[in-house]
Amino acid sequence: MEEPLGSPPAALSALEKNVAELTVMDVYDIASLVGHEFERVIDQHGCEAIARLMPKVVRVLEILEVLVSRHHVAPELDELRLELDRLRVERMDRIEKERKHQKELELVEDVWRGEAQDLLSQIAQLQEENKQLMTNLNHKDMGFSEEEFQKQEGMSERERQVMKRLKEVVDKQRDEIRAKDRELGLKNEDVEALQQQQTRLMKINHDLRHRVTVVEAQGKALIEQKVELEADLQTKEQEMGSLRAELGKLRERLQGEHSQNGEEEAEIQPQADGEDCISDSEKAALDLKDPNRPRFTLQELRDVLHERNELKSKVFLLQEELAYYKR
């Protein structure tokens, strides 16, 4: 009797692993090992010996599979949560910096307005003094002293210095405002990039969860189908053994009866799988004489063999598919 294909060494190595290091593939290997043990028990004691135990073992393996899959998915979720929290903190920090920057701009603008107002007041005062001087100059005689002329020249120079200072302050404030605007634009671009990265990470997380769910469902279905097919295969092989034993006894009995009665021996044609063909008349005679006559016809025996071969093919395909998912 051929043993189903499997990987007991891999399962043994999975059993020797630390509990925290188990993966879903290790659970599948353990399930394969348990299946081999069930096959040995079935060979020795029959299917009835584990009929009540098998569903419980399958349930325990399902629970172990779910726990292991959760254990491996949880670290990825924790990393994504930490990354999301970090992005949120960075976003709050940028918002807080923008608020401080806005307040600084408002303070700078207030200071600039105050300085500009002071300078405008000084300009107005100087213009008024200039007008008064021009008026006094027109009403005075042309023979004013050199000292008064130097005083008038000094007032004009002071006015030019005030205008120059005002222009420098305005240019400086304009450059600072432009630099702050550029910095604010860069901060906004960084925030948008982080938001896009957050959206992409959330989408990847959703896709991973979906893939894990699909793989778990497929693996569970494959394990259940494999266990059922292997149990059916063992049952069919036991039936084949019984049929072969009955046919051997029947052939010996026929040979003994023919040698005693002097009848011609029936022609026995050995089949490729060990089957014997018997004529209808001989079967009728045996039905009348033999109380332990076989309960299966030749066609039924062929059907059982065909069904067994189909089950073996299905088990092979399932093992190939399971190996593919393990890769």
DSSP letters of 94-152? Answer: HHHHHHHHHHHHHHHHHHHHHHHHHHHHHHHHHHHHHHHHHHHHHHS-S---HHHHHHH
Q: 100 or 286, which is more confident? A: 100
- Confidence tier at 288 by pLDDT (50, 70, 90): very low
What does pLDDT average to over the chain?
Answer: 74
The CA-based diameter of the chain, rounded to the nearest angstrom, is 178
Closest CA to 222 of 78, 85, 31: 31
**255-280: pLDDT as tens digits:** 777 676 654 444 444 443 444 444 44
Total Cβ atoms within 10 A of residue 31: 27
Q: Let me know: does 31 contact 19? Beta carbons within 8 Å.
A: no
Rounded alpha-carbon distances, angstroms, from residue 309 to 38, 108, 229, 313: 21, 90, 11, 6
Lowest mean per-residue pLDDT among 8-17, 93-102, 132-141, 289-298? 289-298
Q: Which pLDDT does position 263 carry in this prediction? A: 46
Q: Which pLDDT does position 7 carry in this prediction? A: 45
Helix axes 24-45, 146-261, angle to 10 degrees: 10
> Residues near 198 by Cβ (< 8 Å), separated by ≥ 6?
84, 87
Question: What pTM did the predictor assign?
Answer: 0.28
Total Cβ atoms within 10 A of residue 222: 17
**179-201: pLDDT as tens digits:** 888 888 888 888 888 889 888 88
Element spanning 48, H or E: none
- Confidence tier at 3 by pLDDT (50, 70, 90): very low
Q: Which two tokens stand for residue 293?
A: 């006559």
Element spanning 274, H or E: none
Q: Let me know: does 86 contact 158? Beta carbons within 8 Å.
A: no
* Whole-number Å distance between alpha carbons of 170 and 305: 101
Tell me how far the alpha carbon of residue 7 is from its chain's centroid.
26
* Whole-number Å distance between alpha carbons of 243 and 301: 8
Q: 295 or 2, which is more confident? A: 295
Total Cβ atoms within 10 A of residue 123: 14
* Whole-number Å distance between alpha carbons of 41 and 56: 16
**6-30: pLDDT as tens digits:** 444 444 477 777 777 777 788 888 8
* Whole-number Å distance between alpha carbons of 216 and 300: 39
Q: 8 or 31, which is more confident? A: 31
Element spanning 263, H or E: none
Reported as half-sphere exposure (CB side, CA atoms, 13 A), residue 177 has a value of: 13
**50-102: pLDDT as tens digits:** 788 888 888 888 888 888 877 766 666 777 778 888 888 888 888 888 888 88
* Ramachandran area for residue 50 (φ above 0: left; ψ -120 to 50: alpha; else beta): alpha
> Buried (b) or exposed (e) across 240-252, using 16+ Cβ within 10 A?
beebeeebeebee
Q: Which pLDDT does position 283 carry in this prediction? A: 45
Residue ranges covered by each domain of the chain: 8-236
